[in-house]
Amino acid sequence: MGSQVSIIRPSYLPEIELFRPSSIDGVFECIKDGARVLAGGTDLLPWASQHGQPRKMVWIGNVEPLHGFSVDDERLQIGACVTQGELIRCADFRRAAPAVADSVQFVGSVQLRNQATLLGNVCSASPAGDTLPALLVHEAQVEITGAPGQERQVSLDDFLLAPGKTMLAPGELASGVSFCGLRANEMSAYRRHTERRALDLAVASVAARLVFEADGYTVAGARVALGAVGPTALVAIEAAKSLVGHPLTGETKSICAAIAAETCKPISDFRASADYRRQLVKVLVEDVIGEIEQRARIFKPNGEGR
Amino acid sequence: MNSRPPLSTASFRERALAGARYAADIIPPDTVLAEIVRSPHTHARVKRIDSRATLAVPGVLAVLTAEDFEGIRLGHLCADEPILSSVARYFGDGIAAVAAKDRQSLMRGIEALRIDYELLPHAITIDDALASPVAIHDFCADNIAEKFQAVRGDWQAINSRVALWVENTFETAAIPHAYLEPRACLVRVDGKRLELVCGSHAPSMMADFYRPIVAGWGSQLEVVTPAIGGSFGAKWEHPSQLVCLLFAQRLQRDVAMVLSRRDDMIAGRTRAAMRIRMRIGATAEGELVAKETTLWCDNGAYSLHGPAVMKAAAIRGDNLYRFSAIKADAQLVYTNNMPSECFRGFGITQSTFALEQLIDELARRLKLDPAKLRLSNTVREGDTAVHGWKIGSCGIADCLDGISNRIDRHRRDNALPRSERYRTGYGLAAFIHCIGNRGYDKRFDRAFVTLRTLPEGGIRISSGEVELGCGTVEVLIKTVARELATNRDQLEVVLGDTATGPHGMGSYASRTSFFVAMAALDACRRFKRAAEQMRVEFGMTKPAEIGELVARARQQQRLGDLEVTGDYQPSGVVVPDETGYGNISAAYTFGAHGCCVQVDTYTGKVTVTQYWAAHDAGTIVNLNETQGQVIGGVIQGLGFALTECASVAESGQLLNPGYLDDRVPTFPDAPPVEVLFTDTYEKKGPAGAKTIGEPPIIPVPACIANAIRDAVGVRVYQLPMTSERLWRAINDDDARSGPKGN
Amino acid sequence: MSTGKYLRVNGTEYQIPGQWLGRRLLDYLRHELRLVSVKEGCGEGDCGACTVFVDAEPMCACLLLCGVVAGRNIITVEGLPQDFRQRFAQLCEKHGGLQCGYCTPGFTMMSAWLSGGGTETGKDPLDKLLAGNICRCSVYQQLKKVVAELT
């Protein structure tokens, strides 16, 4: 037996040729030239240190339009350069998308959130990416710019293909993400399991968004999404459907949790085994719904309790 | 270069002001940089190294391989670690080294290096290594690096006395030390003189070890110790230092190496993983009679301090209880894992995980209070413990009482709801520990402190022991300021400088504060004697101020007469015999810990909600620093208990080299720790003090395990006790039956 | 926005040499400016030892390229007000807020940020705000007292 794999490359950032265009056009020129897009850099730079590449990067922070960030009742629009820290500090954002706000606060630390962008977490497409299940239940759409002026919207569910893989084609830029804000009688939440309380990757995670009937208890609509239990964050369609038309009871919650646990596709790795991850999904689904119930009472339509 | 003033050791204040300088902070910008090139294979023979392309990279200055270090091996107890190896024995073993004028050329040079390997079968578990036909080292066909046995007492007689045996097998994990400052070193060269600047906890021992090697190259060596960003037992000799020394000697240029976090974890060392089969026997009334231990210690690829770690695990903890009979049988097994090394509370922390759970289980079976069972069985002042430890001051009873009271009060004041999902439980565990270890070095266990009156004024205190954050500088300044009635600002401390200071064994084995304080007391006595003699000679009236005297001495060029070296060697200690029998330490420390845990039975997640640590550290001299050591040790123990683990793939690859996946506790993970001290006075110690360094970590995993057992009725016999493992145990009917008895 | 070739560090403007645009701010501060209080503990943003302020917000200098922070205001421990540093050091002495000291610069920066009213949502527990700074000597409990007394 012989082998050609020679060494473990010492972990240091390679010499990077950095481009800093101030227009989208400029960004595309660099991309065409083989540069990788650098936004917050909290995923890309450690990766580059370990692998010794990419060595050409185009930083998009100078492109003014990519810093756009708007919250209205219908939809939130988040530009590619908006950091997670900026989002958390915005009370309107926290009110409009509680699950996403929950999830962002689990990412890294204060320092990292000040650097990392929301879209960066999306494009890294980690199966355990915290914001992904939350964005899925808020029906996120990724804005892909193929060339200057050529934009299309892709649902996040379609956008995520495999661990670290998205449908972003060579030469394309993910320029923003948009998602639904809460409407009347809606609430969302995100929970995860980690071994440590901070600085950890989710072993399993669950987000849910529920729409209630006017009675405040019967579920009129539901979205449930799961993280770290499949090659990508998953929408648990069947589990969500099981809640619709029923009031939230111990039984409906546990049915929903059981379906979610059955339908997810976890793997075993050094962080946890597949069957433990299923168990966590079961527990977390009930916990998240419990959290929504608690929060929803505060937001009852007649404003009682606020 | 010889005129460079010695590097004074950063005081607490300087560290607090971010002014301390660690090795990497001292490296001048134009220093030649070196890196070790590591094997991506777990076990492989190097067939060929092609460095032509590397040497052709502009800026690359030299390449070293195994041939350059022919015949040189690291290891105080068993010299078996090559500096660069022709056989990779673990994932990350160093194969070659490159030096270049800057980081960019260095990386290009490394990427151009071609190494061909012949892959060999590897063994990463103890069982595989024992069963493997492939020897990890040529000189060791069965992969057993060392064996250890001890038998004491009359085993025929005890059988009739033992009414109940409790027994189980426990496993502890390999974990990286994860000190925050990655390894770094700088070698300064001045002709034949090499000066190694690196944060080691045992610089004199390092110099002792390296000097003959460096002499073989025709050079001399001194070691300088800058501030050290944590060691916890890890920062002994390391191939990176000899690589830099040889590059510097050959290139006649200063050379530095700073490891990245990932490389530091891959190429670092770990706490030795162990499998421990243990049983203890007691009478029906709860008198501990006998203990039998069979232990396998994962040495990793190289021995380092493996033999000492194994022996400590096999017997040390036994000294806490009045066992009549002991059997220990231990094997140190080579595997293709990272080399294991000393780690705070080496050996005893692993075996206490087993012993203190069995004691707890015994108390349950006998329906005795676990604190009372311990109280009635621990050694007392005046005892000679089962392995020959002569017990002096002993505050274990107060520690157990203190913890027991804390637990009772907490239970009473917090009527914690017992839901189906969340369960609460309390645990307790105890320990004994030594202060230094006469058995470690055949020559002596000893410390020196030199006091030197400086021409420019003030006194320099030098020692070969170092400051790891435990307060060595403070101990020295306090002691000397008090004894010589001088101002603190007249005192400068230089630690770990082999060129200007005395020899030191190093800061390990919880010895430093005790030993340096004793040596400083001796130095102060000698200083006062010398000063008195000089006063008489100068015909000065009594009491002369030291300052006045020094001024006269300076005038008369007699400052040299005011340079003294104090010496401390504990009396009554011996090198233990080959079965580990003998009084190894001047005094012994004790303690008991307690904690309250909440277990989420649905996920197996354990939350420690309150922790109490009671210690007999003698009379407390520096309350803040002593308390700090306890709290820090407890939190490190919490990581060892619940989350930390070097995760190794079947291929042998380390999967979690970094803080993200090697889960050391973070800020929110730390539960409140209340620290209690007994008011013990140790007459052999400085001002009645004993020490604190290692002890706080020792009982933590067992304490938490016992609380988990109390909460949910099951145990996880394997560290770390992760959520998943506990969830499995909770859902496994077999696990509920507990340890096997007879 | 960062198009310039200048870095403002502790109030002084420096021209960034061209080859440094694609290199780490951490290395620039340590090697070029000799601001060695900024420590490298992990190089991956996990430990917080290299925390600096970028326009008054804490970030990890190991994950910032010089070209990305050009034109922005960088503050390191050396650039914090002297009276704050002294007060922090006193409180560390009082509470035992450090051991080996390697994490101390990062905690100093975070303490300065917190004492200046640093927050994310206005009601974050201290645990959450300091979760990005690892202390392997594990003096978290003591640091909590230091920060509580500072803020």
pLDDT band at B3 (very low <50, low <70, confident <90, very high): low
C contacts of A199 (beta carbons < 8 Å): 46, 131-132, 134
pLDDT exceeds cutoff 80 at B273:
yes
* C73 and C101 both lie in a single domain: no
* C21 and C64 both lie in a single domain: yes
Task: Identify from B38, B42, B107 which residue to disrupt to test chain A contact, counting A C-beta atoms within 10 A and taking the largest count.
Answer: B107
Q: Is A221 exposed, middle or buried (0-12, 13-18, 19+ CB in 10 A)?
A: middle
Decide if C89 is inside a domain: yes
* C92 and C134 both lie in a single domain: yes
* C61 and C100 both lie in a single domain: no
* C91 and C73 both lie in a single domain: no
* Nearest alpha carbon to residue A109 among A135, A83, A136, A133: A83
Distance CA(B99)–CA(B64), nearest Å, equals 9
For β-strands C12-15 and C6-9, DSSP reports them as: antiparallel
Per the structure block, which two tokens stand in for B320? 């806490």
Q: Quick one: pLDDT at residue B622?
A: 87
Would you call C51 an interface residue with chain B, using a CB distance cutoff of 8 Å? Answer: no
pLDDT band at B735 (very low <50, low <70, confident <90, very high): low
Q: Which residues contact B570 (CB under 8 A, 6 or more apart)?
A: B436, B438, B445, B585, B586, B684
Chain C nearest CA to B385, separation (Å): 32
* C106 and C145 both lie in a single domain: yes
- Mean pLDDT to the nearest integer, A231-257: 96
- Mean pLDDT to the nearest integer, B5-31: 94
pLDDT band at B605 (very low <50, low <70, confident <90, very high): very high
| C78, C98, C132 - which closes a domain | C78
B228–C39 C-beta distance less than 8 A: no
Q: Quick one: pLDDT at residue A300?
A: 47
At A76, the amino acid letter reads L
Decide if C54 is inside a domain: yes
CA distances from C81 to A224, B363, C75, C78, C108 (A): 49, 58, 11, 8, 11
- Mean pLDDT to the nearest integer, A71-82: 92
Q: Quick one: pLDDT at residue B546?
A: 76
Q: Quick one: pLDDT at residue B268?
A: 82
Q: Quick one: pLDDT at residue B1?
A: 42
Decide if C12 is inside a domain: yes
C contacts of B468 (beta carbons < 8 Å): 99-100
φ, ψ for residue B195 (rounded to 5)? -120, 120
Decide if C136 is inside a domain: yes
pLDDT band at A305 (very low <50, low <70, confident <90, very high): very low
Could you tell me the domains of chain B? 12-120+181-229+235-266 (3.90.1170.50), 270-379+387-438+577-730 (3.30.365.10), 447-568 (3.30.365.10)
| CB nearest to B636's CB, from C30, C31, C138 | C138
| C78, C103, C128 - which closes a domain | C78
Nearest-Å Rg of the Cα atoms of chain C is 15
Decide if C68 is inside a domain: yes
Between chain B and chain C, the number of residue pairs with CB atoms below 8 A apart is 155
Would you call A237 an interface residue with chain C, using a CB distance cutoff of 8 Å? Answer: no
Q: Is B738 left (phi over 0), alpha (psi -120 to 50) or beta?
A: left
Q: Quick one: pLDDT at residue B543?
A: 66
Residue C73 bridge partners (DSSP): C8
* C106 and C142 both lie in a single domain: yes
Decide if C1 is inside a domain: no
CA distances from B626 to B18, B632, B687, B695, B696 (A): 22, 10, 15, 11, 10
* C66 and C85 both lie in a single domain: no
- Mean pLDDT to the nearest integer, B430-456: 93
CATH of domain A64-180: 3.30.465.10
For chain C, the straight-line distance linking the first and the last C-alpha, in angstroms and rounded, comes to 32
A88–C22 C-beta distance less than 8 A: no
The answer to whether the beta carbons of residues B312 and B580 sit under 8 Å apart is no
Q: Quick one: pLDDT at residue B548?
A: 81
H or E segment and range at residue B353: helix B348-365
pLDDT band at B250 (very low <50, low <70, confident <90, very high): very high
pLDDT exceeds cutoff 50 at A157:
yes
Each residue of B327-383: pLDDT tens digit?
A: 999 999 999 999 999 999 999 999 999 999 999 999 999 999 999 999 999 999 999
- Residue C43: domain span: 6-78
Q: Quick one: pLDDT at residue B541?
A: 82
Q: What proportion of chain B, given as a percentage, has pLDDT over 70?
A: 98
CATH number, domain at C132? 1.10.150.120
Q: Return the ∠ at Cα B197 (arms to C75 and B519), rounded to 5°.
A: 105
Average pLDDT of chain B is: 95
Residue-wise DSSP of B255-268: EEEE--HHHHHHSS
Each residue of B95-151: pLDDT tens digit?
A: 999 999 999 999 999 999 999 999 999 999 999 999 988 899 999 999 999 999 999
The answer to whether the beta carbons of residues C79 and C105 sit under 8 Å apart is no
pLDDT exceeds cutoff 80 at A3:
no
Per the structure block, which two tokens stand in for A242? 């099981």
At A146, the amino acid letter reads G
* C73 and C105 both lie in a single domain: no
The answer to whether the beta carbons of residues B583 and B462 sit under 8 Å apart is no
* C72 and C87 both lie in a single domain: no
Distance CA(B139)–CA(B305), nearest Å, equals 18
pLDDT exceeds cutoff 80 at B544:
no
pLDDT exceeds cutoff 90 at A276:
yes
Q: Quick one: pLDDT at residue A4?
A: 54
Each residue of B280-297: pLDDT tens digit?
A: 999 999 999 999 999 999
CA distances from B715 to B61, B411, B634 (A): 56, 21, 20
pLDDT exceeds cutoff 60 at B441:
yes
A276–B656 C-beta distance less than 8 A: no
pLDDT exceeds cutoff 50 at B213:
yes
CATH, domain A197-298, list 3.60.15.10, 3.30.390.50, 3.20.20.70, 3.40.710.10: 3.30.390.50
Q: Quick one: pLDDT at residue B136?
A: 97
Q: Quick one: pLDDT at residue B742?
A: 37
C22–A112 C-beta distance less than 8 A: no
Chain B nearest CA to A50, separation (Å): 9
Distance CA(A200)–CA(A180), nearest Å, equals 28
Chains with 3 or more CB pairs under 8 A to chain A: B, C
pLDDT exceeds cutoff 70 at B736:
no
The answer to whether the beta carbons of residues A284 and A256 sit under 8 Å apart is no
B262–A50 C-beta distance less than 8 A: yes
- Mean pLDDT to the nearest integer, C63-86: 97
* C39 and C22 both lie in a single domain: yes
Chains with 3 or more CB pairs under 8 A to chain C: A, B
- Mean pLDDT to the nearest integer, C18-33: 96
Q: Quick one: pLDDT at residue B185?
A: 97
Residue-wise DSSP of B600-668: ETTTTEEEEEEEEEEEE-BS-S-HHHHHHHHHHHHHHHHHHHHT----B-TTS-BS--STTTS----GG
Coil vs helix vs strand at A122? helix
* C113 and C50 both lie in a single domain: no
Q: Which residues contact B67 (CB under 8 A, 6 or more apart)?
A: none
Decide if C57 is inside a domain: yes
| C53, C78, C103 - which closes a domain | C78
